[in-house]
């Protein structure tokens, strides 16, 4: 006991106290007196064998945790709507790769309601979503604002309003429309109703490239957020400002409370990527 106390920088009574307490916990003697010292009982030898394995596992756990804390490891699961998956996430991931090459990121492409559902179910760590002024706020999450994304109108390049630069929705009242996801269609319909007409939605698709192709072929007009046009602008489309369409708020949602280092790092890079999005309207 004395030698053990010296090796551990404890007092001999402290070592004896810890041994006695451990024996009470396991319910059997672990050491017996032997001459002027002590020796392990059979139960003591078994406990030592297991303790060595436990300490080894504990050391492994400490190393893995230190790696995560130091961004030498870690995983982030994300749910992102399509235009952000193309317009924000690649730049953010490229920057994160340079900063922390061992952090892995998985992607689930999902519109905001599905992304929030995945966040609630614990299937993702970060949900990149968008909302309009009329959208009910998501509660129970920490919101990290990314950007304010104006909604722009688009008409065929040969349209009578193509060179106008800006347009009032009433000027498009008689047109066929191509519209996006359910949330975007709802926003478009409300904006048009305020302008005095109900839009005739002839085409509905979540694919913003397909929407622009329909417009470029003279089959419809449309309303798309600026981010969609920064990703791709069809050369046969004219993009116009339309103040009545307003804008959408793009943000990242995460669980309230502490954030793992890899999640915090990805959020930082998403904010930085959003700041690099051109602030003005896309002209074509």
- According to DSSP, the residues that pair with 252 across neighbouring strands are 128, 144
- On the CB side of 261, CA atoms within 13 Å amount to 14
Domain assignment present for 196: yes
How confident is the model at residue 65, as a pLDDT? 59
User: What six digits make up the tokens of 185?
Assistant: 């269609």
DSSP H or E run through 89:
helix 89-99
Return the axis-axis angle of helices 261-275 and 42-69, rounded to nearest 10°. 10
- Pairing assessment for the beta strands 37-40 and 31-34 based on DSSP bridges: antiparallel
Distance between CA atoms of 130 and 255, rounded to whole angstroms? 17
Reply yes or no on whether the pLDDT at 69 is more than 60: no
User: What six digits make up the tokens of 269?
Assistant: 């890079």
Q: Which long-range contacts (CB under 8 A, 24 or more apart) does 255-259 make?
A: 255/119, 255/125, 255/141, 255/142, 256/140, 256/141, 256/142, 257/142
The DSSP line for 199-266 is -EEEEE-S-HHHHHHHHHTTS-EEEEEHHHHHH---TTEEEEB-GGG-EEEEEEEEESS---HHHHHH
Residues 122 and 160 grouped into a single domain: no
Reply yes or no on whether the pLDDT at 281 is more than 80: no
Distance between CA atoms of 128 and 125, rounded to whole angstroms? 10
Distance between CA atoms of 185 and 131, rounded to whole angstroms? 13
Average pLDDT of span 111-124? 93
Reply yes or no on whether the pLDDT at 177 is more than 90: yes
Structurally, the chain folds into a number of domains equal to 3
Domain assignment present for 17: yes
Residue 31 sits at φ, ψ, to 5 deg, of -135, 150
Q: Which of 69, 87, 106 is the last residue of a domain?
A: 69
Distance between CA atoms of 220 and 214, rounded to whole angstroms? 6
User: What six digits make up the tokens of 273?
Assistant: 């990527």
Reply yes or no on whether the pLDDT at 209 is more than 60: yes
Reply yes or no on whether the pLDDT at 46 is more than 90: no
Residues 15 and 139 grouped into a single domain: no
DSSP structural state of residue 281: P
* Per-residue confidence band for 74, with pLDDT thresholds at 50, 70 and 90: confident
Reply yes or no on whether the pLDDT at 100 is more than 90: no
CATH number reported for the structural domain that contains residue 158 in this entry:
3.40.190.10
Distance between CA atoms of 96 and 76, rounded to whole angstroms? 11
The domain in which residue 184 lies consists of 150-247
Average pLDDT of span 92-104? 90
Residues 155 and 232 grouped into a single domain: yes
User: What six digits make up the tokens of 88?
Assistant: 């924000």
Domain assignment present for 283: no
Domain assignment present for 280: no
Which residue in 163, 168, 224 sits closest to 197, CA to CA? 168
- Pairing assessment for the beta strands 126-131 and 75-80 based on DSSP bridges: parallel
Distance between CA atoms of 100 and 260, rounded to whole angstroms? 14
Taking phi first (over 0 means left), then psi (-120 to 50 degrees means alpha), and beta for anything else, what does residue 59 get? alpha
Reply yes or no on whether the pLDDT at 184 is more than 90: yes
Span 151-174, pLDDT tens digits: 999 999 999 999 999 999 999 999
Residues 90 and 33 grouped into a single domain: no
Q: pLDDT higher for 121 or 71?
A: 121
Residues 7 and 122 grouped into a single domain: no
């Amino acid at each position: 006991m004395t030698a053990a106390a010296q090796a551990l920088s404890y007092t001999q009574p402290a070592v004896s106290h810890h041994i006695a307490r451990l024996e009470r916990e396991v319910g059997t003697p672990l050491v017996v007196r032997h001459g002027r010292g002590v020796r392990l009982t059979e139960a003591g030898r078994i406990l030592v064998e297991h303790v060595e394995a436990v300490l080894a596992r504990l050391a492994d756990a400490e190393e893995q945790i230190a790696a995560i804390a130091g961004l030498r490891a870690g995983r982030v699961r994300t749910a992102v709507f399509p235009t952000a998956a193309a317009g924000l996430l690649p730049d953010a991931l490229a920057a994160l790769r340079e900063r922390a090459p061992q952090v892995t990121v998985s992607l689930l492409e999902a519109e905001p309601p599905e992304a929030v559902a995945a966040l609630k179910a614990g299937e993702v760590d970060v949900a990149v979503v968008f909302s309009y002024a009329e959208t009910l706020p998501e509660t129970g999450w920490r919101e990290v604002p990314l950007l304010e994304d104006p909604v722009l109108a688009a008409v065929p390049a040969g349209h009578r309003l193509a060179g106008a630069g800006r347009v009032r929705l009433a000027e498009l009242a008689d047109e066929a429309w191509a519209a996006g996801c359910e949330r975007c269609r709802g926003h478009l319909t409300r904006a048009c109703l305020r302008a005095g007409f109900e839009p005739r939605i002839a085409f509905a698709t979540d694919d913003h490239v397909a929407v622009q192709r329909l417009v470029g072929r003279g089959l419809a007009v449309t309303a798309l957020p600026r981010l969609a046009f920064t990703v791709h602008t069809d050369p046969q489309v004219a993009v116009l400002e339309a103040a009545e369409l307003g804008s959408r708020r793009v943000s990242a949602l995460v669980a309230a409370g502490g954030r793992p280092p890899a999640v915090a790092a990805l959020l930082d890079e998403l904010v930085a990527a959003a700041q690099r999005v051109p602030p003005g309207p896309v002209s074509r």
